[in-house]
Amino acid sequence: LSLDEEWGPMRKHLLEAMRDAKHYQKEESIITAFQGCGAIIVCPESDQVVSRSFDEWSSKLQEGHAKNEDQKELLLRNPLNTPAMLAIQGVSRIERQLASGKGMDSDSFKNGQYLCTGYDVYLSKEPGVFESMALVHSRVRRVIFCMINKDDGGLGGTGSAVSVHELPGTNHRFRA
């Protein structure tokens, strides 16, 4: 597809990522921890959202991971609970549900060896270095973000030399 043809779906999904970020704005502690970021993962073949970070955050709260404010604070401090990581966890949850009861030798399991193979990730803010490497390991197709991350952006949005997705020693790269 040309950029003109891709722009419509990209714009639509970037707006979805921005809406995902707005869900977090109900609570001050979440805004501070997530810095207004939202993340969604999209299957480009079907143009459907596969996972939303806020949905995963909500499911963690509903599953009883945060029975009180202290436990919720611990969830917020957990480095695995950033919007990008939560969206990846959402894909993982879906893959586990699909392969459940079929065993590790099933086609459902074998086809999902890398969680996000071929998926596009849309973020309202550039992912940090840690999140960027998680996206490399997840084998995403590309990452599209709205705002640069001046603090620890991992995809070169600030023009810095840090572009995790282009490191020479990695065995996977994606477009950003």
Within the chain, where are the H helices?
A: 3-23, 28-34, 53-62, 69-77, 83-99, 107-110, 129-138
Nearest 10 degrees: Cα torsion 70, 67, 57, 138? 80
pLDDT (tens place) for every residue of the chain, 176 residues total: 677 778 888 899 999 888 888 876 666 555 555 566 889 999 999 999 999 998 888 887 777 666 777 777 777 778 788 889 999 999 988 887 777 766 666 665 666 566 788 899 999 888 888 898 888 888 889 999 988 888 887 777 766 667 766 666 766 656 65
Three-state DSSP at 132 gives: helix
Instruction: State residue 70's pLDDT score.
Output: 79
Q: What's the token pair of residue 48?
A: 């459907």
Instruction: State residue 104's pLDDT score.
Output: 61
Q: Given phi > 0 = left and psi -120 to 50 = alpha, else beta, which region is 64?
A: left
